[in-house]
């Protein structure tokens, strides 16, 4: 299912014995465009205690109740490391969180969003199940933080720059809960397409610049301007998705074809 990131903010996070807090932000890797962390606002329950939970720890969001459930207790969350959510989040802090919950970090085990039937996320086997852990090259990288970890709230509103001019602003992020990755970025184009919105896919983006608050797209303005207008009822396998891929010269059989995006002249 596809979700607007803005719609997920405010969803309740329910532990096995009560509410933990609400979603205040989502952090993603701008190389893989995978969502990595949910930033949880705990309100007065844990005043001053900031909580990060990996997306793989959460069940799929429930639209009817506006909540996520997680196979953790409130006490486990209360005892978790008190973290700062200012970016970049240090790899050391990420490792401390995984260690606290006795889960295997995503950079060691790969990424999966499917939780198994007993509640332990499939991508995070318990330590006794995987044997001794050796530090590898990835573990040793980025001791001061992951520079590719981005806040969705922070990036919302960034200028979208095509090869030959401005397109608009990043308005929202459309997320697939099948693998917790960003499928589309919706663009507010009111300056040159009043009343119409378009979307771009991560494969079109070659740089996010923190200093200029800009997202640079490897495509021309005219190409994006002529693309199918944003459909808020889009699904992963619906007609909008097919029209979008067909417009950019893609096959339409499967989502994997998006990595063959043709955006040249």
**Same-domain pairing of 202 and 140:** no
**Same-domain pairing of 230 and 125:** no
Residue ending a domain, choose from 130, 150, 170: 150
Partner residues linked to 165 by β-bridges: 162
The tens place of each residue's pLDDT in the chain, 265 residues long, gives 999 999 999 999 999 999 999 999 999 988 889 998 899 988 888 887 778 898 888 999 999 999 999 989 999 988 888 776 665 677 777 888 888 888 878 776 543 332 332 233 333 333 333 222 223 333 333 445 566 788 999 999 999 999 999 989 999 999 999 889 999 999 988 777 676 789 999 988 988 888 899 999 988 998 988 889 888 888 888 898 888 888 887 643 344 445 455 444 3
In this structure, are residues 3 and 174 in contact, taking their beta carbons and an 8 Å threshold?
yes
| Assigned domain for 249 exists | yes
- CATH code where residue 161 lies: 2.30.30.240
Would you state the pLDDT for residue 108?
Answer: 67
Would you state the pLDDT for residue 101?
Answer: 84
Long-range interactions of 191-198: CB distance < 8 A, separation 24+: 191/166, 192/168, 192/225, 193/168, 193/225, 196/229, 196/230, 197/171, 197/229, 197/230, 198/167, 198/224, 198/225, 198/227, 198/228, 198/229, 198/230
**Same-domain pairing of 223 and 139:** no
| 103: containing domain | 6-150
**Same-domain pairing of 143 and 233:** no
**Same-domain pairing of 71 and 18:** yes
Would you state the pLDDT for residue 75?
Answer: 92
* Contact residues for 82 (Cβ-Cβ < 8 A; gap 6+): 48, 49, 50
- CATH code where residue 98 lies: 3.90.50.10
Would you state the pLDDT for residue 147?
Answer: 66
Terminal-residue alpha carbon distance, the chain: 33
Quote the number of domains for the chain.
Answer: 2
In this structure, are residues 101 and 165 in contact, taking their beta carbons and an 8 Å threshold?
no
* Cα separation, 172 vs 49, whole angstroms: 27
């Amino acid at each position: 299912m596809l979700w607007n990131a803005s719609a997920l903010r405010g969803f309740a996070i329910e532990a096995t014995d009560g509410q933990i807090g609400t979603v205040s932000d989502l952090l993603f890797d701008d190389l893989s465009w995978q969502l990595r962390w949910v930033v949880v606002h705990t309100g007065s329950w844990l005043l001053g205690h900031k909580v990060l939970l990996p997306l793989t720890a959460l069940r799929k969001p429930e639209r009817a109740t506006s909540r996520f459930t997680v196979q953790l207790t409130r006490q486990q969350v209360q005892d978790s490391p008190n973290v700062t959510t200012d970016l970049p989040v240090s790899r050391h802090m990420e490792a401390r969180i995984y260690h606290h919950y006795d889960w295997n970090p995503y950079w060691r085990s790969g990424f999966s969003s499917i939780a198994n039937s007993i509640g332990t996320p499939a991508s995070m086997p318990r330590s006794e199940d995987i044997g001794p852990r050796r530090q590898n090259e990835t573990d040793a990288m980025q001791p001061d933080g992951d520079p590719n970890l981005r806040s969705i709230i922070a990036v919302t509103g960034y200028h979208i720059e095509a090869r030959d001019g401005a397109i608009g602003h990043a308005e929202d992020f459309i997320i697939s809960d099948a693998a917790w990755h960003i499928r589309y970025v919706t663009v507010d184009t009111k300056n040159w397409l009043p009343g119409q919105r378009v979307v771009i896919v991560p494969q079109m983006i070659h740089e996010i610049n923190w200093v200029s608050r800009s997202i640079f797209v490897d495509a021309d303005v005219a190409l994006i301007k002529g693309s199918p207008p944003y459909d808020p009822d889009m699904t992963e396998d619906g007609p909008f998705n097919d029209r979008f891929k067909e417009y950019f010269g893609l096959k339409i059989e499967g989502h994997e074809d998006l990595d063959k995006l043709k955006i040249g002249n």
